[in-house]
Structures are given as C-alpha cells and as structure tokens.
Amino acid sequence: MRRASLVVALALLAAASACRKPQPQAKNISEANNVAMRPVRLYFEDGNSLLTAELHNLPLPENPAAAIPLVVREMMKGPGNASLARLFPPDTIVRGAYLLPDGTAFVDLGGATLQQGWGTGTHEELMAVFSLVQTVTTNFAEVKKVRLLVNGEPAETLAGHVWLGRSLRPMASLVEPASR
C-alpha cells in the first residue's frame, strides 16, 4: 500500500511539473545593465606633487550609481604607470558608493589602516582625498561633490589632517593643467 501511494505521489508530481509554463531565460546580467568597455580617468600623484589622470578602460554599467564603486575600486588598485604614486593604503577597500539626486556621491571606504588610524602626512592625505574626489567628479557628470564615509559612518578625517565633515568639490589647483 505504501509503495502504491509513493508511485501515485510521484506520478502527480511529474504531471504537475509538466503543466508548468516554461520560464523565460534570464537576460545576461551584463546585457541587462548595458555593461560596456568605457574609458575612465583615474587620478594619481605625479612627480610634481599634482594629480595626473591615467586612462583606463573598464567594463562599466551605464547607471552611474552602479559604476561609481567599480571606478573607485580600480583607483584603489593603484596606477599602472610606475612614475605615479599610489595614494591610499594597500588594504583600503571600497565598501560601497551611493549617488543622491542632488549630485552628492557618498563613497564608503574601509580597511584596517583607515579604521585603526592612518599614520600619514598632511600632503599624502590631501592628495589621496582629492584624487578620489577628482576621479569621481571627472568620470560622472551627475556628481557635483563627494562625501567620504569610513565603515559606513561619516568620517571627520582619514589621517588627522584633512577635515571631511562636509561634501568636497574638486580642487583644480591640485590637478596637473593637462589633466583637467
């Protein structure tokens, strides 16, 4: 009797699954997000103590809110050109980035060095902060200013020198004229 019940249950299950409508295949995520190779300008410090653009081509979605964290993650890897300086600690991670309708981009950074206290000088911190601001505002016309967070919280500073209690706009005086 038990065996007969099992056979009937399996037959009903098979019949029910045969009646299901076939589900359309999910679109390729890259295609759905309109991901394409796009040129971006990442800013690093040159030998003249100014920010210089380095051109990279990245697969980015069309939506700026989705593309911003990818561009910042690429910047955190450091420059490809050995004559340009890496500006953030190597263990810096990009936890996320958000874009508000008013043109403010929030970039949330993390990593042990930033959390425990980054022992760097004023110039290094200034260049790091504004390399990020310059990179984001140059590559995304929708972004007018950038606010930095550390581990999801508003940061007063990254290393004790540059006050981050407000949103920042690019500083043209820190950028090599040819890279503006």
> What's residue 62's pLDDT?
93
- Which tens digit of pLDDT belongs to each residue from 148-170? 999 999 989 999 999 999 999 99
When pLDDT is cut at 50, 70 and 90, the band that residue 76 belongs to is: very high
- Which tens digit of pLDDT belongs to each residue from 12-58? 555 555 555 555 554 666 666 689 999 999 999 999 999 999 999 99
- Which tens digit of pLDDT belongs to each residue from 94-110? 999 999 999 999 999 99
Share of the chain above pLDDT 70, in %: 82
> What's residue 1's pLDDT?
54
When pLDDT is cut at 50, 70 and 90, the band that residue 173 belongs to is: very high
Please give the sequence-ordered ranges of beta strands (E in DSSP) within the chain, or none if there are none.
36-45, 51-60, 93-99, 104-110, 145-150, 153-154
Share of the chain above pLDDT 90, in %: 77
> What's residue 19's pLDDT?
54
Under DSSP, is residue 138 helix (H, G, I), strand (E, B) or coil?
helix
What the block records as the tokens of 114 is 């930033």
Q: How many CA atoms lie within 13 A of 115 on its CB side?
A: 13
Question: Is residue 172 predicted with pLDDT exceeding 60?
Answer: yes
Which residues are CB-contacts of 174 (< 8 A; sequence separation ≥ 6)? 50, 51, 126, 127, 130, 134
